A and B are shown apart, each in its own frame.
Chain A
Amino acid sequence: MPVSPETLDEASSPGQGLAIAAESLYLINLLVLPGPGFLALLWLFFRQRRDAPPLARAHLRQTVSASLWAGGLLILANLLIVALGGYDSGWTWVVVILYFTTAHTTLVVLGILGLARALAGQSYRYPLVGNLLP
């Protein structure tokens, strides 16, 4: 990864605070307050999506997209596994717990990478679950 001039710039970039807030809310939704964290992120997104600087807009779009995917991957997919495998089977729980742990952890690690990029004033695209960057 080459060093960009942006990397060398110590001053905070426009919209960096908002970008950090977006990434933090994404992680809060996954780790501490599932639901309220997402609602707060949505509120921030709809309030700032037009006027915010490009860096903040990019992080807001990425985190909202990734959060929606997270909802599907963590809630719907697990309900489907339980529905198909039956509640009363040890193997169902092997699949559910392993799937939930790996999917959730992957989403959290992506959030950590996003937060680190926001802290450095850089944009970040979530692999697979993020929006395409312009």
Chain B
Amino acid sequence: MQLQYKSQAVAKPYFIAAIALFVGQILFGLIIGLQYVIGDFLFPAIPFNIARMVHTNLLIVWLLFGFMGAAYYLVPEESETELHSPLLAHLLFWVFLVAGALTIVGYLAVPYASLADMTGNNILATMGREFLEQPLLTKLGIVVVALAFLYNIGMTILKGRKTALSIILLAGLVGLAVLFLFAFYNPSNLVKDKYFWWWVVHLWVEGVWELIMAAILGFVLLKITGVDREVIEKWLYVIITMALVTGIIGTGHHYYWIGAPGYWQWWGSIFSAMEPLPFFAMTVFCFNMVNRRRREHPNKAATLWALGTGVMAFLGAGVWGFLHTLAPVNYYTHGTQITAAHGHLAFFGAYVMVVLTIISYAMPMLRGREVNPERSQVLEMWSFWLMTVSMVFITLFLTAAGILQIWLQRIIPSPQSFMAVQDQLHIFYWLRWLAGVVFFIGLVVYLYSFFAKDKPQTVEAGAVQPAAT
């Protein structure tokens, strides 16, 4: 089977790199999970703060690879034209991969302070902040890659058909690039620093990334269900409107206790309480489209990932976000394991799963077939359930740890110290680690599914053979 547009093939290395980095992210997750209960595990070779930084940075980088791969696959088909420059896309792939790999090697091989000195942090200090730990050179590289990527995608859309899907995707990608610029603003005033830091972190994951997610999900559902484009577009308009209306002012739920004006407690509480709405609509949208499908698409695994994305995004981002978003609740829960529980399920449900959805849909075609063999799909669906269920358990164990942490540290008449409380949470951390191991097994099954072939049909002795014609 041939691709509709040859240039869509550039998506393939992006997806492969995304999956490889995903494996790295989970391995480092297992390391830090173990360090929670065996404090000196792998110390001093890989200290906890470095391993955590690698875990979160790899997540961001592989999701960006996934988004770019998705855009390179989706845009030519939506625009009904070849990609503006496949060569540029290939070049950017290698630039981004090498820059990302060097950054991770730098984290692991050089003390962080030395890395800062070596990479020009004294010229423009941008390092040392959670999720934005990348050296200045890497950050500049990200900007260059993002600009060239947007140029390539933008020119393709400009010369071809303009659809709501591709415009929503482009809007999300432009927002992603523009908001990253706040990573370069690092005022010495800690309140201002935190205030604008959220413009990158929050407005990415609870703002523009939701547009990217909606566009990818809409594209896959359009292809696998055959539902009219107009129906899907109407749903998308509602979803992205709700995402932006609630998400932008919802940034206020990060401003409660950082020194920002008190009115943010009202704005943050009210608007972020509505943030589950777009995820709620997304779940209804996914199931409604599959219920109204006009054809039975043979790629059952992709359908499962798409439906799973809706549900898990609603649970992780919607429900677990709402759980601690109201100011009076957040007064107690702020910075506890409740946040970690929410972060894990929200990232997995919304963004990991949507990238795996587009990979599941596109990768067979990028490998020259409409869908994967039956056995491969069965394995992929097994990996779906293993990863999803184990992530739910990771979330539940972290939530339980968080509740007990709040009780012991912030509620009882004689509150205990942070470390004294941590000692009492070990049982939950062990259970979380075991769930993480199951997640990793699911990931291994997922990797194996790419290489699985259907077993050849065996014919029983004595069975009647059809006559040759």
Where the two chains meet, the residues of A that have a C-beta atom closer than 8 Å to any C-beta of B are 2-3, 7-8, 90-91, 93-94, 97-98, 101-102, 105, 108-109, 112-113, 115-117, 119-120, 122
Contacts and interface: CB of A to CB of B under 8 A. Distances in A.
B296 A2 contact: yes
B399 A97 contact: yes
B226 to A, nearest CB: 10
B399 A3 contact: no
Contact of B296 (A3, A94, A109, A113): A3
Contacts of B404: 90-91, 94
Nearest to B286: A116
A25 to B, nearest CB: 15
Interface in B354-399: 396, 399
Contacts of A122: 291
Given A93-B407, A116-B286, A119-B291, 9 more contacts: A2-B296, A3-B294, A93-B403, A94-B404, A112-B287, A113-B287, A116-B287, A119-B288, A120-B292
B396 A116 contact: no
B399 A98 contact: yes
B400 interface: yes
A122 B311 CA distance: 20
A4 B408 CA distance: 55
Contact of A120 (B291, B311, B319, B399): B291
Interface of B: 280, 283-284, 286-288, 291-296, 311, 314-315, 319, 323, 396, 399-400, 403-404, 407-408, 411-412
Nearest to A9: B292
Contacts of B292: 7, 120
Given A101-B323, A102-B396, A116-B284, A7 B291 contact: yes
Given A90-B408, A116-B284, A101 B293 contact: no
* Closest CB pairs A-B (n = 5): A90-B407, A116-B287, A120-B291, A116-B288, A94-B403
A108 B320 CA distance: 13
Contacts of A115: 284
Contacts of B296: 2-3
Q: Is the interface of A mostly helix, strand, loop or mixed?
A: helix
A3 B295 contact: yes
A112 B283 contact: yes
A97 B287 contact: no
A109 B314 contact: yes
Nearest to B323: A101
Contacts of A91: 404
B295 A119 contact: no
Contacts of A109: 283, 311, 314-315
Contacts of B412: 90
Contacts of B411: 90
Given A90-B404, A98-B396, A105 B293 contact: no
B304 to A, nearest CB: 11
A120 B291 CA distance: 6
B291 A116 contact: yes
Contacts of A101: 319, 323, 399
A114 to B, nearest CB: 10
A34 to B, nearest CB: 15
A2 to B, nearest CB: 7
Nearest to B285: A116
